[in-house]
């Protein structure tokens, strides 16, 4: 029994030491970019704690919106370095998770998956971003609700319609919430408008669309 | 001897479960790309083709991939230029149409995200993700 436990412990020790060549500080990085940021960059630091050099075979991001690269192709024993993952935020919202697959010639640890989690702040939540009327439908107003995030207090909203065929009315309903009523002048022809929604004292513009579709009115 | 081996095997199996539990706790908040898309929100290339002109094909891949090739008549909508591209989709949409969103293996979960935003933000009904994406559509063309 004692021999078995010793053999088991020894095998664990051997396995752990064999895996320990390229040691990552962390394989998951959570980023909180500012609302105005265009990119979020994660730095995955590592050290070669083994006795042999480690060569990177490939460093690939899971999708086109993220670029990943390694500082060096080969890491001598004892050396440190990092893999950077640059995530282009674009017009993405909410929590985004992107991965980077790192392949090395370390036979015990050929693939490492690095994870970048970006929590993109959302200044305004607009529901819905699209309102429509069927052709011939009564031109009654439809409502878009706008909620400002707690960390982005908004006192006033400016709403502009790209088409004079739609009228808009903004009303503050309290607790950082607004109601936008959109009313078409008529619904007899197909028309559309882009509504620009801009909080006071902010450069950022948000959008919604209003449209008269070619579908018959739902009575 | 046998019972000792069984006990040790059980101990090893229990130890192997530990990292799994740790990961489950660490990633406890649901992340959309990890959640499978419900079957009711997926559509095969053959089904979507059968919808004919009643389907709006939405290409969620980056601009360069769309410019290189796309499903005939597809409209581009990616999250790099969401605000600029969304009105093009809404311009061809009408309540009776079905929206089929696709991406490729290179653009990972883009179609799921675009479909999710069309449902949640624009509140469109009948939005589907193409099973197998662009690659599957290419296969079904042959």
Whichever domain contains A64, its CATH number is 2.60.40.10
A113 and A100 Cβ atoms separated by less than 8 Å: yes
A202 pLDDT tier (thresholds 50, 70, 90): confident
Question: Model-level pTM greater than 0.90?
Answer: no
Count of C-beta atoms within a 10 Å radius of residue A205: 12
CATH superfamily of B38-141: Rhodanese-like domain (3.40.250.10)
Residue of A nearest to B65 (CA): A64
Q: Are A113 and A147 in a shared domain?
A: no
Chain B neighbors of A128, CB-CB under 8 A: 121-123
**CA-CA distances (angstroms) from residue A9 to A108, B2, B4, B13, B76?**
19, 19, 15, 15, 58
C-alpha span between A85 and A43 (Å, rounded): 7
Last residue of a domain, one of A69, A85, A120: A120
Residue of B nearest to A190 (CA): B91
Structure tokens at B92: 């061809």
B140 Cα to chain A: minimum distance (Å): 24
Give me the pLDDT at residue A106, please: 86
* pLDDT tens for each residue of A104-150: 998 888 999 999 999 999 889 999 999 999 999 999 999 999 999 98
Give me the pLDDT at residue A154, please: 92
Q: Which of B4, B62, B117 is opposite residue A64, by nearest beta carbon?
A: B62
Mean of per-residue pLDDT scores for chain A: 89
B25 pLDDT tier (thresholds 50, 70, 90): low
Whether residues B110 and A1 touch (CB distance < 8 A) is answered with: no
Chain A neighbors of B68, CB-CB under 8 A: none
Mean of per-residue pLDDT scores for chain B: 86
Reference A83, options A58, A105, A118, A52; nearest CA is A58
Reference B123, options A122, A76, A83, A127; nearest CA is A127
Any domain includes A84 = yes
């Amino acid at each position: 029994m004692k021999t078995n436990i010793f053999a088991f412990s020894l095998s664990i020790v051997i396995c752990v030491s064999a895996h320990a060549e390229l040691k990552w500080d962390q394989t998951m990085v959570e980023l909180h970019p500012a609302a105005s940021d265009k990119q979020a960059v994660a730095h995955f630091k590592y050290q070669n704690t083994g006795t042999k050099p480690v060569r990177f075979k490939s460093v690939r991001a899971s999708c086109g919106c993220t670029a990943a690269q390694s500082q060096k192709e080969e890491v001598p024993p004892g050396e440190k370095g990092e893999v950077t993952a640059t995530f282009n935020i674009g017009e993405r919202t909410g929590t985004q998770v992107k991965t980077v697959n790192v392949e090395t010639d370390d036979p015990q640890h050929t693939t490492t998956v690095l994870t970048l989690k970006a929590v993109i702040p959302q200044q305004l939540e607009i529901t819905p971003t699209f309102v429509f009327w069927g052709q011939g439908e009564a031109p009654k107003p439809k409502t878009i609700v706008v909620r400002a995030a707690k960390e982005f207090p908004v006192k006033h909203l400016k709403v502009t319609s790209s088409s004079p065929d739609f009228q808009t009315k903004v009303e503050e309903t309290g607790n950082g919430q607004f109601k936008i009523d959109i009313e078409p002048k008529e619904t007899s022809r197909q028309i559309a408008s882009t509504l620009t929604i801009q909080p006071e004292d902010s450069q950022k513009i948000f959008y919604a669309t209003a449209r008269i579709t070619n579908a018959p009115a739902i009575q | 001897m046998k019972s000792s081996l069984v006990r040790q095997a059980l101990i090893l199996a229990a130890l192997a479960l530990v990292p799994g539990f740790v990961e489950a706790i660490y990633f406890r908040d649901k992340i959309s790309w990890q959640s499978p898309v419900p079957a009711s929100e997926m559509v095969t290339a053959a089904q979507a083709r059968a919808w004919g002109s009643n389907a709006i094909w939405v290409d969620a891949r980056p601009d360069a991939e769309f410019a290189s090739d796309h499903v005939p008549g597809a409209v581009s909508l990616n999250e790099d230029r969401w605000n600029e591209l969304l009105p093009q989709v809404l311009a061809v949409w009408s309540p009776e149409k079905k929206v089929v969103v696709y991406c490729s293996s290179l653009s990972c979960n883009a179609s799921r995200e675009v479909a999710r935003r069309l449902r949640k933000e624009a509140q469109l009904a009948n939005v589907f993700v193409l099973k197998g994406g662009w690659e599957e559509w290419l296969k079904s063309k042959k």
